Amino acid sequence: MSFSLIVGLGNPGRQYEETRHNVGFMVMDRLAAASGAVFQSSPKWQSHLAKLPESGTLLLKPQTFMNRSGGSVRKAIDFYQIPATELLVVCDDFHIALGQLRMRTGGSDGGQNGLADIIRTMGTQEVPRLRIGIGPVPERWNPADFVLGKFSADERTEV
């Protein structure tokens, strides 16, 4: 399976760097660094965009905050005329054990608000996604506080 556009979900701003919720941005940064691609700001799409040199695959990091990612994705999809089946969304999932991966070609958002906004904006649940486990949420923790917390050194190594 090949993808024309890979979207990593996260929140913009220094205060969110290295948080569990930004694991999608972390994956995009690793992919770009490994291939020598450089992210450029794209104010028109409210995102940062890079192009992998060998494959031409686009990497997108929406800068609209997690819950409003769909608009940036839609603008890129429309401009490059990319079908939803050639889109891959990379996001966190606290229902999945730390470091575990789950790849699906479609389905519900599973409570992930960034993915929910993309599904709503695309008008279909048939959006491929790679969920990266960041869980479980410790007992008595608020899930919002957990996802916005930073990885410990051991967790970062695992991820």
Q: Which residues are catalytic?
A: 21
How far is Cα of residue 25 from the mean position of the Cα atoms in its chain? 6
How far does the chain reach from its first CA to its final CA, in angstroms? 23
Cα gap 115→30, rounded to integer Å: 21
Q: Let me know how long the chain is.
A: 159
Cα gap 73→20, rounded to integer Å: 21
